[in-house]
Structure 1
Amino acid sequence: MRTERNKDGSFNVWMSRDEYQHLPRAASSWDREIAIRLMGDCGLRVAEVLDVCPAHVSRMSDGTHHSLEVVGGKDTSGEYQEGKHRETWVPVELERTINRYMQHEGITHDEPIIDRSKRTLQYWVEQAAEQAAEDTGDDDYLRVSTHDLRRCWANHLLVEEGISPRIVMALGGWSSYDAIEPYLAAPTEENIINSMTKVAL
């Protein structure tokens, strides 16, 4: 895990995928796990998580995978008054967890899956991070914020998986390459080791 201190004293945390996985596993309930995974597995901003309803999850044309319609997403271009709509990828396991939770809690297709406040979601991430720090002995988890989950998702796709920046921009709702360039330019320690061990120096 790599951390960077910002000018305001806050930190940016760069996690590998394995390091990130400790967070949803540390969640103490289904709704907390789903909220964390919507940010860390789907690239949602914390405010966008609160708008997700079961009706926004739909099966893709291959009949196997699912997408999530993000309604009222942040518009960085200033073009859309009521927010920018996009579709992002939903891992199969997360779709199943959402479906089980929806049935267990009696949530209808048009009701929010996570009916909480932004501060509550931030608190859930803080609690999961505290548990992950205890489980792993790595105190860097204590610096993890909700935005670090989105950062981890973008960095994983761009750097670890080599997904096209244009695809990541579309999935994450970024309107310019400049907005995602920091995620592209920040390789994980594992990525550096794997790349540099192939170089004869």
Structure 2
Amino acid sequence: MQARPYPSKSGKRLWLSRDEQAKLLSLVEDEYPRRRIALDLALHGLRSDEVRNVEPRHFQPLDDNGKWRLTIPDGKTGTRDTPVSRSLRERVKYLKSAARLRVDEPVIDVSTRSLRDWIVEAREQLADDLDDDRWHDLGMHDLRRTWATDTFYSLAFEGVPIAEELTMAWGGWAMTDSGRETFRRNYLGPVPDHVTSRAMAHLDFR
């Protein structure tokens, strides 16, 4: 976990490592399938309002190789598509069947307050279980920050020339000077540990 203070208020912004993301999701793996999907959607870059309104029909195949995308029809900057994991799509498909949801019915369908309560409950348990007080600062927005930073640096490390543009498009930041400033100032964080670890293979430490 990497933490930085907010520039103008108390508390800290957090960016979770991939291992910490897995710990968060595993906490609600079986007992709370909707919570698991909601947190996973946030870790795919969705805002809280977007998480609440995802419907099964919004998932579409991207190609014939098992890749999927999610259409967000009413995002802050309009309609956009973002890539999602196959496992997330499969969980939504299973929940749709188990709960007998319509294809046009929200999967999560809870209030923003409920989403906040879910993340508070999870972070407090993780803080206790792992004896790590940093978890106390975790909010839904930190999951979006984590996704933005991981996505950008992963693409950049692979040499994708439009890493920032892709991340902003998938995450729904406006392609304007102010949108880019918001992305860089408030969401793009420290280099993720897994990227640093891979980069170190190219360094000659003696």
TMscore range, shorter length: 0.7 to 0.9
Residue in structure 2 matched with residue 23 of structure 1 by the alignment: 24
Cα offset for 1:156?
0.8
Deviations 1:57-111 (A, max 9, x none): 1112335211111121112xxxxxxxx1001111011111111111111111010
Deviations 1:34-74 (A, max 9, x none): 0000000x210011111111111111233521111112111
The amino acid of 1:116's aligned partner reads V
For 1:112, what is the secondary structure of its paired residue? coil
Aligned length: 192
Structure 1: runs of 5 or more not aligned: 76-83
2:71 to 48, 69, 82: 69
Give the TM-score of the pair, scaled to structure 1. 0.86
Q: What RMSD over aligned residues (CA atoms) do the two structures have, in Å?
A: 2.2
Q: Superposition pairs for residues 101-180 of structure 1, below 5 Å? A: 101-162=95-156, 164-176=163-175, 177-180=180-183
Report the Cα distance in structure 2 between the residues aligned to 1:200 and 1:29, rounded to whole angstroms.
45
Structure 2: runs of 5 or more not aligned: none
Q: Superposition pairs for residues 175-186 of structure 1, below 5 Å? A: 175-176=174-175, 177-182=180-185, 183-184=187-188, 186=190
Report the Cα distance in structure 2 between the residues aligned to 1:158 and 1:168, rounded to whole angstroms.
6
Report the Cα distance in structure 1 between the residues aligned to 2:87 and 2:195, rounded to whole angstroms.
26
8 Å Cα contact 1:35/1:49 also seen in 2: yes
Deviates more, 1:99-108 or 1:16-25: 16-25
The yes-or-no answer on 1:12 pairing with 2:16 is: no
Residue in structure 1 matched with residue 81 of structure 2 by the alignment: 87
- How has the CA–CA distance of structure 1 residues 115 and 9 changed in structure 2, closer, same or farther, with 3 Å as cutoff? same
Report the Cα distance in structure 1 between the residues aligned to 2:57 and 2:34, rounded to whole angstroms.
17
The amino acid of 1:187's aligned partner reads V
Report the Cα distance in structure 2 between the residues aligned to 1:60 and 1:171, rounded to whole angstroms.
14
The amino acid of 1:38's aligned partner reads L
8 Å Cα contact 1:51/1:71 also seen in 2: no
For 2:123, what is the secondary structure of its paired residue? helix
- How has the CA–CA distance of structure 1 residues 86 and 190 changed in structure 2, closer, same or farther, with 3 Å as cutoff? closer
Identity %: 30
Cα offset for 1:181?
2.3
The amino acid of 2:172's aligned partner reads G
The amino acid of 1:61's aligned partner reads D
1:55 to 57, 73, 96: 57
Give the TM-score of the pair, scaled to structure 2. 0.84
8 Å Cα contact 2:17/2:192 also seen in 1: yes
Residue in structure 1 matched with residue 2 of structure 2 by the alignment: 2
Report the Cα distance in structure 1 between the residues aligned to 2:94 and 2:62, rounded to whole angstroms.
19
Deviates more, 1:180-189 or 1:42-51: 180-189
8 Å Cα contact 1:26/1:129 also seen in 2: no
